[in-house]
Amino acid sequence: MTLLEGSIGVEDLVLLEPLEEESMLKNLQLRYENKEIYTYIGNVLVSVNPYQQLPIYGPEFIAKYQECTFYELKPHIYALANVAYQSLKFRDRDQCILITGESGAGKTEASKLVMSYVAAVCGKGEQVNSVKEQLLQSNPVLEAFGNAKTIRNNNSSRFGKYMDIEFDFKGSPLGGVITNYLLEKSRVVKQLKGERNFHIFYQLLAGADAQLLAALKLERDTGGYAYLNREVSRVDGMDDASNFKSVQSAMTVIGFSEEEIRWVLEVTALVLKLGNVKLSDEFQANGISASGISDARGVREIGEMMGLDSKELERALCSRTMATAKEKVVTALNVVQAQYARDALAKNIYSRLFNWIVNRINESIKVGTGEKKKVMGVLDIYGFEILEDNSFEQFVINYCNEKLQQVFIELTLKEEQEEYKREGIPWQKVDYFDNGIICNLIEHNQRGILAMLDEECLRPGVVSDSTFLAKLNQLFSKHSHYESKVTQNAQRQYDHTMGLSCFRICHYAGKVTYNVNSFIDKNNDLLFRDLSQAMWKAKHPLLRSLFPEGDPKQASLKRPPTAGAQFKSSVAILMKNLYSKNPNYIRCIKPNEHQQRGQFSRELVATQARYLGLLENVRVRRAGYAFRQGYKPFLERYRLLSRSTWPRWNGGDREGVEKILGELSACTSEEVTFGKTKIFIKSPKTLFYLEEQRRLRIQQLATLIQKIYRGWRCRTHYQQMRKSQILISSWFRGTMQKKRYGKMKASVLLIQAFVRGWKARKDYRKYFRSGAALTLSSFIYKSLAQKFLLGLKNNLPSTSILDKKWPAAPYKCFTTANQELQRLYHQWKCKKFRDQLSPKQVEVLREKLCASELFKDKKAAYPPSVPVPFRGDYIGLRGNPKLQKLTGREEGPVLMAETVRKVNRGNGKTSSRILLLTKGHVILTDSKKSQAKTVIGLESVAGVSVTSFQDGLFCLHLSEISSVGSKGDFLLVSEHVVELLTKMYRAVLDTTQRQLPITVAEQFSVKFKESNVTVKVTQGPRGNGSGKLSCKKKGSHGLEVTV
């Protein structure tokens, strides 16, 4: 299939070749997968729901489509809305936009987009903006009370809506009127599996504050209400609480008072409370079955909230009064009948509340009668429905769609005929399927299905759905568009899909089988007079106004009109309204049943295409000419195909078009007809031929333009290069001469200076002293030195010994002096710091210095010990007189007192000891008994071995000649090993005038009694050495310690 230039698939199905259902579905799928959801059928817009937000809406796109004609840009809902608005504003023609499609196809969103576009492009001003806001805010209110979650759609409109938006002569909105059709009130009392009741019930329970819920006598849990589906209380992507706030705000914007909003919510709560009224079996004295209220609390709460007498409400629910001209008879209702009456009351209350809300909105947005106005209608109504079980609702919905299809065909053909007449082209009769016979089958005043249904409902005697079906079978037995089991049997046809209680109508979109069960009840739509009177007696103003027939003064024995008759009358008014306006169509299609983006089910779309009659629409559009366009835009697009009209044409537009088509062999007189202002092309193939020729010609012209452009660019580039080369050469020569002149001038001046200097020195040499140069240099050097030292004096760093900053020497000759001055200044700071220290602080620093010399870069435990001051006493020696006695007074003060662990020589286990270090001894005592166990003289300590890890293990090596040393060395563990060994090192040095050898190694030999044991220290898996020590014997001469 040849495609129009720059488009994905065919943007207008009128140009589709071949014209078949398969090619149409393929084209829609191709465009949908490329996120092109809009397609034209002439001036009809087909919209496929993308189930996602696409970046094709907003002020930028509104401005773009506002400035263009219908076919100038891609198909878009803004283009259709713009055509309707411009025709209304400038041609003074009333418009209507008909939006049809299945539930979930995007009808509601389409109507919102149309209204938002009109609101954006119409006039501005405070009053105009107020009207626009009221019109837009009517949507969330109607959605809350009229929309619900269904299996097919999370926000399905369960009513039909027609809104007339009225404009003044400038195109600014004045107000509007909303008409609603056939609210699905049966949903109030029963929902299918996976569906919800109307949104307002869930929004009220989720969004109302605790005070409001208490006033309405409601609880927040949705599971506590019989009329709400307990399985589905929430919908993904829908915030009921937030939406409730939006509904309240929208009602305020529209003009509802706070009192009216409260009334609406109270009546809504009443419907929920009615569902919880439980009815039970009772028996009268004569044994006849009756019913009663099993839980009086619910009825009492309803009575308190609505100002009703609970006894009278109970009586109205459980009995029925039959009035005749002479007497009244009260009949008790059994449980099933009472439940039917309760549900009928709930449905009627909600349906009438919805009608009241629509009327209240109309009061706010209505226009004064004296103003001249233009009207744009927007119809958002159910599409054609074929379900597994089709009932009365589907019957009237499909009847409405039959009427809309009739309007479409008649208005389309009428528009075609009028255009042909304007252009002076003879009109040829178009063969198409006229569905008037089907409309007549349903709506005929005496012999239509609706008339038969009303007659059966009004007939005295036994009336049932089966008698109604029998009457239809008798009346329409030979009708070509009616079938039933009886008519099939008469014609000896067998169809297992046709039930005994069913009949079938051959609609324009396909055959639909209807089940007549409940047709009579749904058409009657009766509410017992007792319930109407009970509601009228309520003190609640809104509830009382909903039931005017309950007023005894207005009581009438006349039967109210049936639901079918009311709907037929509404459809007739709607059709009259549509015939008076110029129609614009939006056909909405649902691509899949799962509301998933990117999925395209051909079977589902094909079914909807048949329901919507898309192929029929295309055939009607193509009955005469598939394409027509004004001479001027046609000439602008195709004038490049003829050498006579390209590159310019000075003649008339029609002559130019005739010139172009006369030179093309495919454009014969049978394919092309010239009107007064337009060119008409019969076959899409001719248009595709023109597009293909234009594409080839554009390629030729593009090649020619490229050739000319490349030649021009090369010539221009060469000329620029030549000019640039001349300019660069002249500048280069000039610059070289300037540089040469500058060098020559500088050389001459230098020679002149030397010559003048030589002459001056020659004349005045006799006046110079021989030592003048040395004196000057000495003076200069001293001046520099003085300046350096004075500058250094003013920029001396701080006196902190940690501050090593020093000013740099200003001249290299002062570098050595500067370094020496820095050293002297540092030594002076250190001396000054030492002079300020107390003897105790000096002693502490000496100990830290000794520790640094012994352990820095040798043991891992040294760095953490640097900032920690050495305490010496870690066991509270002053508070323990027993331990003080062990040291003796002649020993002097205790240098170190702490608890250590002694490693057992035999098995490697550790035991706690208190170690006391004095100036002469190391004393190990029992930590519990405070008795000296071992006293080691410092002269007996031969050396100390420690590890490089962060542990406290060390070994005291004793000389063999000492009494203690004969028992062997001591293997100890201390938590302050750095401090302990530092103090021990200094004590040994002071006592014996010798340096204590301290060995840092992971393996060392320890003498235990007469044998030597090799101690090997390894680091455990923790890796920090701060955990517990683990000692294991390795034979008789080995001990492995894990730290």
- By annotation, the residues acting in catalysis are 103-104, 108, 153, 156-157, 383, 385
Q: Name the strands in the sheet holding 672-674, side by side, starting at the edge strand that comes first in the sequence.
A: 627-630, 678-681, 672-674
Calpha distance 450→443 (Å, rounded): 6
Contacts of 710 by beta carbon, 8 Å cutoff, 6+ apart: none
Are 29 and 50 spatial neighbours (Cβ–Cβ below 8 Å)?
A: no
647 upstream amide cis, omega within 30 of 0: yes
Calpha distance 123→137 (Å, rounded): 18
- In angstroms, the Cα distances linking 378 to 107, 113, 618 are 11, 11, 23
Calpha distance 961→941 (Å, rounded): 11
The phi and psi torsions of 126 (rounded to 5 degrees) equal -60, -45
Task: Give the burial string for 802-829 (b: 16+ CB within 10 Å, else e).
Answer: eeeebeebeeeebeeebeebbeeeeeeb
For the beta carbon of residue 42, count every other beta carbon within 10 angstroms: 21
Residue type, 742: G
Are 480 and 487 spatial neighbours (Cβ–Cβ below 8 Å)?
A: no
Task: Give the burial string for 876-892 (b: 16+ CB within 10 Å, else e).
Answer: ebeeeeebeebbeeeee
Calpha distance 222→226 (Å, rounded): 9
Burial of 506 (0-12, 13-18, 19+ CB in 10 A): middle
- In 833-985, the DSSP E strands lie at 896-903, 910-917, 921-926, 932-937, 941-946, 953-958, 970-973
Are 279 and 335 spatial neighbours (Cβ–Cβ below 8 Å)?
A: yes
Q: Is 917 helix (H, G, I), strand (E, B) or coil?
A: strand
Contacts of 66 by beta carbon, 8 Å cutoff, 6+ apart: 78, 82, 121
- Token code pair at residue 816: 């050595």
Calpha distance 537→551 (Å, rounded): 8
Calpha distance 844→872 (Å, rounded): 11
Q: Is 270 helix (H, G, I), strand (E, B) or coil?
A: helix
**CA nearest neighbour of 171 among 93, 97, 85:** 85
Calpha distance 513→499 (Å, rounded): 9
Calpha distance 258→317 (Å, rounded): 32
**CA nearest neighbour of 913 among 868, 959, 956, 871:** 956
Q: What is the DSSP letter of 384?
A: -
Residue type, 514: Y
- Token code pair at residue 539: 């003190």
Q: Is 678 helix (H, G, I), strand (E, B) or coil?
A: strand
483: Cα within 13 Å, side-chain hemisphere: 19
Q: What is the DSSP letter of 6?
A: T
Calpha distance 1015→786 (Å, rounded): 67
For the beta carbon of residue 287, count every other beta carbon within 10 angstroms: 6
18 upstream amide cis, omega within 30 of 0: yes
